[in-house]
Structures are given as structure tokens and as C-alpha cells.
Amino acid sequence: MKLSFDRVALTDAFSLVAGVAPSRTTREVLKNVKVLSRHGTISMTATDGEIGIECLVAGSYDESGSALLPALKVMAILKELKGETVALEFDDRSVKITCGQSVFKLQSEDPSEFPDVAAWESNDSHAIAAQSLRTMIQRTLFATDDDSTRYALAGIQLGVELGATVLASTDSRRLAVASLGPKISDKPTEAVIPHKAMAVLFRSLVNVTGDAEIAIRPNDAMFRFGDITIITQLVQGRFPNYRKVVPENLAVKIDMLVGPLFSAIRQAMIVTNEESRGVDFEFGAGWLKLNSQATDIGKSKIEVPIAYDGDPISITFDPRYIADFLKVIDPTDMITFGVTDADNSSLMTFGDNYKYVVMPLAKGGA
């Protein structure tokens, strides 16, 4: 079987698919990317046993067939090639890769041992603008607890509601909720998608225009857009009722420009460490003061002008949590910082569709 590709197109597609193939696994065959040519198309698939991805790649071939490419080695080769066209020639468990004056010959495993990646099949899917979905993932992915073994904190809850699509994530210390309307489905449903699958989905959506289709099934979820299909098992367990966590009666709401606030927080973070990671946020008439102090480092005081003329309020936050929220919003945009006191959670919002709840730290940053 001989195949030919534009180098850039092949590299882009292979990089995306190979990102799913595990580098460490007891099933050695999963370290490969499967190439399949048939019905006038060429597809590449990879899986780690829980997440699978298929991507159609523009190219030509001389006969139908399938073969495996070792993901890490081929990716390393593609990154170094300079020619315009890459040719792959498979023969008796080996593959020859030719591009310009460069020729590589690698061993190839038996494709019949590679597990099937389920093809798209759903009569009950719904569509969402691909770039809107990508933005929602960006605004929630950082708040998951990827190492959690309790509840379903190791993923993002995807909810298809009568009025919107909602993504929610929490690590029990902060909560991020991103939503998008209007009504898109008559059948409300919720499922928790693994962190890794959402990260793959985020990368895959980078240049996609139009809509992405979503199908949630009892044990897995599928996403299809452009030439890409992703399937993932669901995170098992009960996701917390995040709606009860979002504070409603905040004492103070302050509109703030993202850029200056983010800059001030980054400065305050310089004088923190794991033992003294808290920063005191002191809201006063016309200003916000950020005070940080750490043994063996020193102390800092950063001031930011704000539109506030009420009584002083002092709250200690882990600045990393505030920074995570701000970094996914344009520096020229305005957010609303809602606070009550040092003992209650605060709520930051951007528009009507993005909410971020963060718990305060005990005084001293412990």
C-alpha cells in the first residue's frame, strides 16, 4: 500500500491524532496510529482505550488497506522534514517514509491487533457553534481536578438543557460555569466528559468553522466536526449540584478591567510560595490593594484603582485561582467581581454566560 500526502496537511492531522495515543501503556499496539484507505478516503485513528479519535486526511493511495504507524517516531520525523510531499509505503510489517532526500524505514505492527474506534452513529445529536464550544471548554477546563477519585471532579459536566448548553467544572475550591443559548434540544441530558477528552476536543477545534455535533449516550459521548470524530467514555460518579454553590446575595459588585487586575495579581504572586500562597485583597474606596508576604522572600503591596466607594472589605485568595479566570478573558474586557466577606465565596462574572466561584483562604494563606 502506497500513500502520498502534502507534508503540512499530514503533519497537522497526525499531530492531532497522535496526541491521543499513549506513550506508556501495557498494550503496546496503542502506541500506534492506524492508517486506513478505502472508499476514496484516507483516515487516521488513535485510541488510549478510553478516548478515540478519527481524522480524515487529504491524500492519494494506490490500493485499499490498513497499517500502523508508531506515533512517537513518525511524529518526530514529520517535525524535521522540509519537502512538500510525504510518501508512505507499507510492506511486510514495515513502513518507508520518503520526503525529498530523506528516507526512513520503520518497523510496523499488525493492524489487525489494533482496536476498532467506533464510527459516528447517532439519531439523537445536537449542534453547537464549534468556536463557541471551544471557548466554553477553555473557560472551564482549568477548574477540573484531574487527579480526583471522588465524585466526578476529574471531568467537565456537559449539560444539554432546554435553554442552553452548559459546561461546569470544579475542584471543590472553585467552580467555573460557561453556558451558551438559545434552545438547542428538546431532550435535556447531562454527562461528565473526562479532562483529557476535553483537552483533545479543545485542540481539535482550533481552526474549525461551522457547527460541532454532540451525541451523548449511556456510556460514552461523541463529537463530530469537519473531518474529525472523537469518542470518549464518560466519567462515572455523581457531579456536585453546582447550582447551589453559586452565591446570589453578594454584598458588593465591582466592575473591573481585566488587564490591570491580571497584571496586579501576577505581580502579587511573585512574593508567594506553597507555605504562604495567600494574597490579601483589600477593597477600599477607589482602590484595591493586593498584599502578599512569604518567609525568605519578602512582601509586596500592589494597588489597582477601582470604582468602589463602600466600606473596606478584606478577603484572602489563592491568586492562582483568580489568575486562571482572568487569563481566558481578553485584557480589554470588563468583569464583575462580587464579594461579601472573608468567610463567604466570591463570584466573578463575564457577561451573562460565564460565572466563576472561588472560595477564600483562611487569613495567612494556609
Say if residue 164's pLDDT is above 90.
no
Q: Same domain for 167 and 138?
A: yes
Q: Same domain for 225 and 281?
A: no
The residue assigned the cell 508567594 is 272
Q: 188 is written with which cell numbers?
A: 435535556
Read off the pLDDT band of 365 (50, 70, 90). Answer: very low
- Where a domain ends, among 243, 261, 291? 243
Q: Same domain for 151 and 211?
A: yes
Pairing type for strands 2-6 and 60-61 reads antiparallel
Determine the pLDDT at residue 162: 65
- Where a domain ends, among 113, 144, 179? 113
Determine the pLDDT at residue 147: 77
Q: Same domain for 104 and 152?
A: no
For residues 203 and 53, the answer to whether their CB atoms sit within 8 Å is no
Q: What is the CATH number of the domain that holds 328?
A: 3.10.150.10
CA distances from 24 to 71, 162, 239 (A): 12, 42, 29
Q: Same domain for 186 and 232?
A: yes
The residue assigned the cell 453556558 is 179
pLDDT over 90 percentage in the chain = 81
Q: Same domain for 36 and 134?
A: no
pLDDT mean over 230-248: 92
Strand partners, 177: 168, 355
Side-chain-side CA neighbours of residue 196 (13 Å): 17
- Where a domain ends, among 190, 214, 243? 243
Chain-centre distance for alpha carbon 138: 6
Rounded to 5°, angle at Cα 59 from 58 and 63: 130
In a domain, 230, yes or no: yes
Give the DSSP H or E segment for 193. Answer: strand 189-194
Q: Same domain for 107 and 135?
A: no
In a domain, 366, yes or no: no
Q: How many CB atoms lie within 10 A of CB 362?
A: 10
For residues 316 and 361, the answer to whether their CB atoms sit within 8 Å is yes
CA distances from 128 to 96, 152, 182, 223, 279 (A): 41, 24, 10, 10, 39
pLDDT over 70 percentage in the chain = 96
Say if residue 232's pLDDT is above 90.
yes
Where residue 139 falls (left for φ over 0; alpha for ψ -120 to 50; beta otherwise) is alpha
Question: How many Å apart are CA 324 and CA 173, to the nearest integer?
Answer: 13
- Structural domain boundaries, residue 32: 2-113
CA distances from 60 to 2, 4, 96, 318 (A): 8, 5, 16, 54
Which residues, in sequence order, are CB contacts of 248 under 8 Å at separation 6+?
Answer: none
Q: Same domain for 224 and 273?
A: no
Question: How many Å apart are CA 64 and CA 67, to the nearest integer?
Answer: 10
For residues 17 and 55, the answer to whether their CB atoms sit within 8 Å is yes
pLDDT digits (tens, 9 = 90+) for 120-153: 876 678 889 999 999 999 999 999 997 777 778 9
Q: Same domain for 234 and 161?
A: yes
Q: 353 is written with which cell numbers?
A: 454566560
User: Lowest-pLDDT range, 52-66, 152-166, 287-301?
Assistant: 152-166
Q: Same domain for 313 and 209?
A: no
Where residue 200 falls (left for φ over 0; alpha for ψ -120 to 50; beta otherwise) is alpha
For residues 292 and 279, the answer to whether their CB atoms sit within 8 Å is yes
Total domains, the chain: 3
Say if residue 34's pLDDT is above 80.
yes
In a domain, 209, yes or no: yes
Question: How many Å apart are CA 169 and CA 158, to the nearest integer?
Answer: 9
Question: How many Å apart are CA 34 and CA 44, to the nearest integer?
Answer: 5
